[in-house]
Amino acid sequence: MINLETPRKFRGLIAQARQVAGQYYRPISRKYDLAEHDYPKELDMLAALLDGMNAGSPESAGARTSKRQSSEHEEGVRNGSNLSTCLGIMELCWGDVGLLLAMPRQGLGNAAIAAVANDEQLKRFDGIWAAMAITEPDCGSDSAAIRTTAVRDGDHYVLNGEKIFVTSGARAGAVVVWATLDKGLGRAAIKSFVVEHGTPGMEVTRLEKKLGIKASDTAAIRFSDCRVPAENLLGNPEVDVAKGFAGVMETFDNTRPMVAAMAVGLAKASLDRARELLQDHCALDYRKPLLSVSHAEAQLYQLEAEWEASRLLTLKAAWMADNRLPNSKEASMAKAKAGRMATDVALKCVELCGLSGYGEDELLEKWARDAKILDIFEGTQQVQLLIVARRLLGKSSKELK
């Protein structure tokens, strides 16, 4: 049974993450929003500091990607690294989402490695900074339509194809690339490969200019006869038609709660700042019924309720992962709810604060731009709702499209 209180062992982590958000991220937040594609050098020192914290702790000190639990037979309720990661992300994204995504060794590809890699691969890729490459020019939300191919050639796989919208694609040390071993076998043949930067045949073709999260680089990458060692195929190389896409989709069960946590953190920042800016106009007396308060107060209360619901859904999805419970439905529910909530909250806070929220003197303006991507990447709002519907109705992807 889940306990809604923050576990005591994570309270130090949360305090550290909030300190990083307030003292490291926010002071340079606007700087790298205005200087898109410039690498935030300040993060190198911070990454080294977090590595030192993590070295002495079994849990994450910041927003390190979640790892599988080592024990198959551990009894009782566990609050593990999935939950701690989400709690840390919420605090760090109270500071800046783009800077979190730009942190060395914190890439979404690391979650893919944690989800499907075998024990030897987990050890070999420990400490690597990995981006994740899924989306293609002709394949967006439908990951099963991937056209990038991987053909076995001796001790290597030869990759050909193009990936777009790869977060940290130019800066990370490696990219986890999704490719198909056989287009005729559909979803079951899709596997993920760790491709290190500098591998011949791998080329970053451009960096995108974006609405928000400008501190984070977003790259397009082309693979032309790119030879990748066979041992870099994550997990089982066999194509299991019966299991289908499930093995690869485990990645999303890890990463979607993380993206939901980003949305929760950004929305909390927006609400906190809106309260500060409106404190002379809104008493915010929670004892009064909504019908007896001003419109602005009522709006803030409603936004807070949406935020709390998103937060609890996110923590539940992460907690289920820690306790080895199937969480695909809950991960999609959290991502759908939190992504939409963050956009609504950030824009409404800008609206409530008027000119103060709309100008570049306030980070509210930036958070409103940053929020939208959280409703798009790692599966759009529409895709999440479709997944939830399939789980609730017991339908397959073929039966419900």
Residue 394: the pLDDT is: 95
* pLDDT tens profile 279-337: 887 877 888 888 888 888 999 999 999 999 999 999 999 999 999 899 999 999 999 99
Using 50, 70 and 90 to split pLDDT, how confident is the model at 141?
Answer: low
Q: What is the mean pLDDT of residues 359-367?
A: 95
Cα 313–chain centre separation: 15
What count of other Cβ atoms lies within 10 Å of the Cβ of residue 339? 28
Instruction: Give me the residue spans of the domains in the chain.
Output: 8-124, 130-232, 246-393
Name the percent of the chain lying above pLDDT 90: 69
Q: What is the mean pLDDT of residues 216-228?
A: 97
CA distance 368 to 346: 5
Q: Which two tokens stand for residue 366?
A: 């930036």
CA distance 258 to 335: 8
* CB-based contact 175:131 (threshold 8 Å): yes
Residue 59 has pLDDT above 50, yes or no: no
CA distance 78 to 54: 19
CA distance 52 to 340: 36
255: Cβ–Cβ under 8 A, 6 or more apart, which residues? 108, 111, 112, 132, 378
Average predicted confidence (pLDDT) for the chain: 89
CA distance 159 to 229: 11
* CB-based contact 143:78 (threshold 8 Å): no
Q: Give me the sign of the Cα torsion angle 339, 11, 321, 60.
A: positive
Fold of 246-393: Butyryl-CoA Dehydrogenase, subunit A; domain 3 (1.20.140)
Q: What is the mean pLDDT of residues 222-232?
A: 98
Q: Catalytic site residue 378?
A: yes
- The burial class, CB within 10 Å (0-12 / 13-18 / 19+), for 59 is buried
135: Cβ–Cβ under 8 A, 6 or more apart, which residues? 163, 164, 165, 166
Using 50, 70 and 90 to split pLDDT, how confident is the model at 230?
Answer: very high
Q: Which two tokens stand for residue 262?
A: 């980003």
* pLDDT tens profile 168-205: 999 999 999 999 999 888 888 999 999 999 999 999 99
Phi, psi of 47 (to 5 degrees): -60, -40
Residue 215: the pLDDT is: 97
* Residue carrying the six token digits 């803030």: 300
Superfamily classification of domain 8-124: Acyl-CoA dehydrogenase/oxidase, N-terminal domain (1.10.540.10)
Residues 91, 250, 362, 378: which is the catalytic one? 378
167 DSSP β-pair partners: 218
Mean pLDDT check: name the lowest of 53-57, 145-149, 185-189.
Answer: 53-57
User: Under CATH, which number does the domain 130-232 receive?
Assistant: 2.40.110.10
Residue 184: the pLDDT is: 86
